[in-house]
Amino acid sequence: MEWIRDARPRRITLISTGGTIASRWQGSGYAAEAAGSDVLDAAAVPEHVTVDVVDLFNVNSSRMTSVRQLALLNAVHEALADPGVDGVVITHGTDTLEESAFFLDLHHSDPRPVVLTGAQRPIGTADSDGPGNLYDALQVAASVRDLGVLVVFDGLVHPARGTVKTQTLASAAFSDPSAQHLGKVGFGRVDTRSGPERTAPLPLPAASAAPESAALPRVDVITHHSDADPLLFRAALGAGAQGIVLVATGAGNATPEFAEAVREAVARGVLVTVTTRVPAGPVAEIYTGGGAVDLVAAGALLTGTLRAAQTRIAVLATLLADVAPAHRTELLRELLSAEPSEDPTPLPLPEEPLPESASAA
C-alpha cells in the first residue's frame, strides 16, 4: 500500500449514476434527475484536483440491475485505461450502493482507488449531505492507493467488502456491523488504518463488454422465518435460478425441509449459500435439525460475515466468471472467505495536511 505525499495535480473521473445525491422534487416525491455536472457544481473541489464527469445513467438505486452494474464495471475500467487518471469517484444511490461497490471490488486489480459515495438528503436542499460526501470522496480518491474499492460517507472510509447500509435516513448511513471502518476524512487529512480484506481480483466478465445483450444468470434471495417452508426456494429453482442465497436465522439455521431443498438444488448444479438475517456476527456450523450443520452437509456454502446483498453479488460474479461449472463452488468459496491483506500495517500519515474537508466537524 502507498500513501501519496506530493501535491501534484490529481485528475479524477467522476461517474454519475443517479441516486439521492442527484435527486430533485418531482411533485409527489424525489427521483434522480440531476446531471453529474450539476452534482459536481453543488460541491467544493479539493485543491490540486481536476474532475472529468461521465454521465453513465441516472436512476434511483432501487432500480439498479446487473446489466447496469456490468456497465458501471466497464466504465470504471475504461476510465482507468487512461494512465493520466489518478482515481475514480462514483456517485450512487445508497439503497444498492453496497452491491455495486462489492461487485466492482471483486474485479478491481488497479492500484488506483475507486470511491463510491452518495447522499441521504437530495441535491439543492439546505441540509444536503451530498456536497460534503462528494468533496471527501474526491479527497480520498486523490490521496490513497492499493486499497481497492472504497465507500466514503459521513466522514468515514469503508472497504467495499462487508460495508452495508445500516441507517435508512441518518447521515451515517454505512458501516460493517461485524468490523470497524477503514479510516476517516476530515480537518484536511485522510487517515487510513490498514488494508482491507480482499480476494484476488477476477478478470472482467465477458458480459461486461455488452451487458444489455447478455443472458445474465438469475440469483435469488430467500429468507427463513418462523413459518417458512421451502415453497419459495423451490419456486426460485423453477424460475431458473442458478444461485440461491438463503437468509437463515441465528448463526445460519433453517429446518430439515430446507436442508432437503438445498440438497436438491445442489444436485442440479445450483450454487446455494447461507447467510443470516442477524445484523452482525458470522454464520457457523453449530446446530443440526435443519441448522447450518445440515445445510452444509447438503452442499450449501456459509458466508462468514457477508450479508445477503453482497453474498448475492459473490454468487453472480462466480456465475459470470470464465470457469468450468465443476470449479464454481471452489471459486465461490474463495470469494466468500477473503483473507486479510498481506500487509496489515497502518498507512503513514501525510507529511503535510491536505485541503480542509468540506464535511469536517
pLDDT at 347 over 80: no
Q: Is residue 249 part of a domain?
A: yes
pTM of the model as a whole: 0.91
Cβ neighbours, 10 Å, residue 303: 27
Over residues 136-163, the pLDDT tens digits come to: 999 999 999 999 999 999 999 999 999 9
Check whether residue 159 and residue 261 sit in a common domain.
Answer: no
Check whether residue 168 and residue 235 sit in a common domain.
Answer: no
Check whether residue 303 and residue 225 sit in a common domain.
Answer: yes
pLDDT for residue 349: 33
Check whether residue 165 and residue 125 sit in a common domain.
Answer: yes
pLDDT for residue 72: 98
d(CA 310, CA 318): 12
In sign, the C-alpha dihedral spanning 232, 233, 239, 243 is: positive
d(CA 100, CA 69): 6
φ and ψ at 183, to 5 degrees? -175, -170
Task: Indicate the residue among 132, 164, 192 that finishes a domain.
Answer: 192
Check whether residue 100 and residue 245 sit in a common domain.
Answer: no
Q: Which range (70-79, 176-185, 192-201, 302-311) has the least confidence?
A: 192-201
Q: Fill in the DSSP letter of residue 196.
A: P
pLDDT for residue 317: 98
Check whether residue 33 and residue 180 sit in a common domain.
Answer: yes
Check whether residue 107 and residue 233 sit in a common domain.
Answer: no
The answer to whether 48 and 142 are in contact (CB under 8 A) is yes
Check whether residue 232 and residue 148 sit in a common domain.
Answer: no
pLDDT for residue 7: 67
Q: Is 223 exposed, middle or buried (0-12, 13-18, 19+ CB in 10 A)?
A: middle
pLDDT for residue 162: 97
Check whether residue 102 and residue 221 sit in a common domain.
Answer: no
Nearest partner of 284 among 330, 249, 334, judged by Cα:
249
Of 17, 20, 96, 192, the active-site residue reads 20
Check whether residue 250 and residue 160 sit in a common domain.
Answer: no
The total of structural domains in the chain comes to 2
Over residues 292-308, the pLDDT tens digits come to: 999 999 999 999 999 99
pLDDT at 330 over 80: yes
Kindly list the distances between the CA atom of residue 97 and the CA atoms of 17, 228, 239, 275, in Å, as whole numbers in the listed order. 11, 29, 26, 19
CATH number of the domain bearing residue 50: 3.40.50.1170
Q: Is residue 359 part of a domain?
A: no
Full residue range of the structural domain in which residue 41 is found = 2-192
End-to-end CA distance of the chain: 28
Q: Decide if 20 is catalytic.
A: yes
The answer to whether 154 and 173 are in contact (CB under 8 A) is yes
